[in-house]
Amino acid sequence: MTEVSSLTGRLLVATPALADPNFDRAVVLLLDHDEAGSLGVVLNRPTPVGVGDILASWAALAGEPGVVFQGGPVSLDSALGVGVVPGEPHDRSSPGLKAARGVSGETAEAADTVVAGDGPLGWRRVHGAIGLVDLEAPPELLAAALGSLRIFAGYAGWGPGQLEEELIEGAWYVVESEPGDVSSPDPEQLWRAVLRRQRNELAMVATYPDDPSLN
């Protein structure tokens, strides 16, 4: 197999042609991407469930809206915490999140390991200022350092080469992420907002109607 250029830390933005209802107008933050497959969370699928209803100790650190987000169709009974630690002086990605592909229980195994010297205890860098939060750690470990926190139920996963095939088919746009994407206070508008800030023809796609028959 040819080497796969990692897209870890970038956004997958669903194209209007993507027919899968799980990903209609989805904005996916890729937490891991290599030859073994890909894993990410959908940033714009808020649920009616409050963070305090399932993880009361983390509710005070979760940004608005303070609800759990559906990260994807896989392992909906598991929880992933994605947090932004601002002011990091360098941009280094973690070596991979293979454990996350076997996520189970209330907390993703991907967040279990802390990288010493590369951020606060209880937080593991994924890309730049974005990282995974160990939801089994005491929240006070991160309270002072955490700029934002979002809790996801489930995740989106792709097997080896599967995402690459979808990219070739035109299912996704790949764009750079910004730390603020994780904590957008208006997630329902994130699809249009991410496209609108692109300095190319993708900015025009942001005006695409939800109902193509209206175009």
CB 101 within 8 A of CB 157: yes
Instruction: Kindly give, in sequence order, each residue whose CB lies less than 8 Å from that of residue 202, ignoring residues fewer than 6 positions away.
Output: 13, 173, 175, 195
Per-residue pLDDT at 29: 98
Coil/strand/helix, residue 57: helix
Burial 96-120 (b: 16+ CB within 10 A, else e): bbeebbebeeebbbbbeebeeeebb
Task: Please say whether the beta carbons of 88 and 162 come within 8 A.
Answer: no
Specify the pLDDT at position 170: 94
pTM: 0.83
In the chain, the N- to C-terminal Cα span, in Å, equals: 41
3-state secondary structure of 73: coil
**DSSP conformation letters of 167-195:** HHTT-EEEE---HHHHT-S-GGGHHHHHH
Torsion of CA 23, 27, 32, 35, to 10 degrees: 60
CA distances 15 to 9, 112, 157, Å, are 19, 34, 18
- Helix or strand (DSSP H, E) at 83: strand 74-84
- Split the chain (215 residues) into runs of 10 and give each run's mean pLDDT: 74 92 95 95 97 96 94 95 78 44 38 50 94 96 94 97 95 95 94 93 82 47
Supply the pLDDT for residue 42: 98
Q: For the chain, percent helix, then strand, then coil, each to nearest 5?
A: 25, 30, 45
pLDDT at 202: 87
pLDDT number for residue 211: 54
Quick one: which of 211, 215, 205, 207 has its CA closest to 175?
205
Count CB neighbours of 63 within 10 A: 17
DSSP class of residue 4 equals: P
